[in-house]
Chain A
């Protein structure tokens, strides 16, 4: 699971009001090089919750993202590289995503988060 996906997910257990961002419990983190696509990054920047991305990268051991960011920074190569790396190149292979409100654990295995709810959570 890349942090782009993490940034889009929340816990949707019945009754949860603030299921985002999910806390990351990292057991196995991997890095995989991905070709950079500037247009894609610029579009995604508008959709991303920046703070959640910064916190998630820290949980995965990457601390090079600035605490604050605005779209003017997208013209800086250095910033774009870091954003790209954090969003698409760091993978959570094994671990879990934890609901911030209930502590419900959504396991991540083989890079795939299991977001399916139990019958009594829907």
Chain B
């Protein structure tokens, strides 16, 4: 059945993938006939709408699934059973009248309460006008009582007008009116509740709450699952996963960040306590380049979610500093008497190696169909295509969502599903690659420099000038991927 899915006008690239991930979580793909696993839903746009429009139609197997998706989502403003639509109020009336009674009457009966909301995109209309529009719906036989606070049924009259292009939304060529019954919508109150401003323990690269929830949704975090973040930092991504009921585990190379924080009530643990969430089942100090998992352990995490250390300000480090840098000529040996208090030096960790390690570990440690969700930096001039994203024989890339950080840099949230087992051949290839990275440490750093040097979260300012990306698309003035 087709539902009208109205999105918040934010993070445009993240909207459909979020719905599709949640569709998976709530079993929308379970009736698939053949063995081919689906990750995508059927979508349609209203006539003349741009893909960046907030209005989409999506085909979902049941109202229950539609409701579950909408209520758990972050970016779905409302999911509606559409009773009618048209280019004018006359057309809308004909359309609503021809919608089958057996679909309408159960929601109109005298025992129920209801509310009608008028929502106008592109222009502001007065309360008086709204009343007029509601009265105009008299052809719908509402028998129930009005309840504005807590109605059983929420009806929406949504008008999208032929507005200008400067209000931040893509231009709409034609007026369109929708009337429908709400089946669900995002609980955006989560975002102020979890906003970083309210977080006791913060770091410079803590993930903002909205994005952390989106990542947890891409990862299908839910009760009974184990979610791992190998670059846990202050734990902000795991906080979102724990909110959705997942068990969480995290590692970080920096002991001050992961263990000490800023005191007994200001550390990774307290970030969970603050929201009444269960503590991570494990936090450890470990290097993603040399993870301390026992060799037989595999397929233990349901999802791995992370924001790897890229860039100048929060660039990655890996074990073996002085030794790696000096090369094999004169290996550095830690003197025995210094061993206990010795602080191991680290070497810079190139982006290529970091991503290689992440994919290789994830391929081994994720359950089949488990998800790897992580950010990947891109230079916008690259005019990138999916081919530029990291690949691995065990993974299928199912979505890539761009967020523009500045005129030059973007970050892309990649969602990958483990579709193949981690075989001995793959493990052997990874082992050889690991040695190659180590032996050619300096070369890799230089090669990887381009990518890792350009991406710095410190530059996360939006500048619209010099927008080469939009060069092909003649100057859209709406906010597009910036929002």
Q: Do A and B bind each other?
A: yes
Q: Flag A41-70 by CB within 8 Å of B: 1 or 0 each.
A: 001100101000000000000000000000
Q: Please count how many residues in chain A sit with their CB below 8 Å of the partner chain's CB atoms.
A: 37
The docked-state distance in angstroms from the alpha carbon of A112 to that of B279 is 13
Across the interface, name the chain B residue whose C-beta is closest to A43: B224
Instruction: Decide if B290 touches A112 in the complex (CB within 8 Å).
Output: no
* A77 beta carbon closer than 8 Å to chain B: no
State which of B249, B293, B340, B344 has its C-beta within 8 Å of the C-beta of A116.
B344
State which of B286, B297, B333 has its C-beta within 8 Å of the C-beta of A115.
B286
Comparing B69-77, B84-92, B125-133, B320-328, the segment that makes contact with chain A is B320-328
Q: Which residues of B contact A (CB under 8 A)?
A: 223-226, 247, 249, 253, 255, 258-260, 269, 278-279, 281-287, 290-297, 299-300, 319-324, 331-334, 339-340, 342, 344-345
Instruction: Decide if A110 touches B259 in the complex (CB within 8 Å).
Output: yes
Given known A-B contacts A37-B224, A122-B290, A116 and B282 have beta carbons under 8 A apart: no
Given known A-B contacts A4-B282, A39-B224, A114-B285, A9 and B334 have beta carbons under 8 A apart: no
Instruction: Decide if B290 touches A9 in the complex (CB within 8 Å).
Output: no
Instruction: Decide if A119 touches B334 in the complex (CB within 8 Å).
Output: yes
Q: Which residues of A contact B344 (CB under 8 A)?
A: 116-119
Instruction: Decide if A34 touches B278 in the complex (CB within 8 Å).
Output: yes
Instruction: Decide if B332 touches A119 in the complex (CB within 8 Å).
Output: yes
Instruction: Decide if B285 touches A116 in the complex (CB within 8 Å).
Output: yes
**What distance in Å separates the Cβ of A47 from its nearest Cβ neighbour in chain B?**
5
State which of A19, A21, A34, A119 has its C-beta within 8 Å of the C-beta of B320.
A119
Other A-B pairs beyond A119-B319, A119-B321, 11, CB < 8 Å: A2-B281, A4-B282, A5-B281, A10-B293, A105-B340, A112-B285, A117-B320, A118-B339, A119-B322, A119-B345, A122-B320
* A86 beta carbon closer than 8 Å to chain B: no
State which of B260, B297, B342 has its C-beta within 8 Å of the C-beta of A8.
B297
The docked-state distance in angstroms from the alpha carbon of A12 to that of B258 is 20
Q: Which residues of B contact A2 (CB under 8 A)?
A: 281-282
Q: Flag A1-43 by CB within 8 Å of B: 1 or 0 each.
A: 1101100111110000001110000000000101101011001
The docked-state distance in angstroms from the alpha carbon of A114 to that of B283 is 10
Q: Which residues of A contact B279 (CB under 8 A)?
A: 32
Given known A-B contacts A116-B286, A120-B333, A47 and B300 have beta carbons under 8 A apart: yes
Instruction: Decide if A10 touches B320 in the complex (CB within 8 Å).
Output: no
Instruction: Decide if A11 touches B292 in the complex (CB within 8 Å).
Output: yes
Q: Which residues of A contact B331 (CB under 8 A)?
A: 120
The docked-state distance in angstroms from the alpha carbon of A88 to that of B174 is 59
State which of A8, A88, A112, A120 has its C-beta within 8 Å of the C-beta of B293.
A8
Instruction: Decide if A111 touches B283 in the complex (CB within 8 Å).
Output: yes
Instruction: Decide if B283 touches A118 in the complex (CB within 8 Å).
Output: no
The docked-state distance in angstroms from the alpha carbon of A8 to that of B225 is 16
Instruction: Decide if A118 touches B334 in the complex (CB within 8 Å).
Output: yes
Q: Which residues of B contact A21 (CB under 8 A)?
A: 294
Instruction: Decide if B281 touches A10 in the complex (CB within 8 Å).
Output: no
Q: Which residues of A contact B285 (CB under 8 A)?
A: 112-116
State which of A12, A40, A117 has its C-beta within 8 Å of the C-beta of B226.
A40
Across the interface, name the chain B residue whose C-beta is closest to A88: B281
The docked-state distance in angstroms from the alpha carbon of A39 to that of B225 is 9
The docked-state distance in angstroms from the alpha carbon of A60 to that of B323 is 37
State which of B283, B293, B296, B319 has its C-beta within 8 Å of the C-beta of A122.
B319
The docked-state distance in angstroms from the alpha carbon of A111 to that of B280 is 11
Q: Which residues of A contact B281 (CB under 8 A)?
A: 2, 4-5, 88
Instruction: Decide if B284 touches A10 in the complex (CB within 8 Å).
Output: no
The docked-state distance in angstroms from the alpha carbon of A40 to that of B334 is 42
The docked-state distance in angstroms from the alpha carbon of A35 to that of B242 is 13
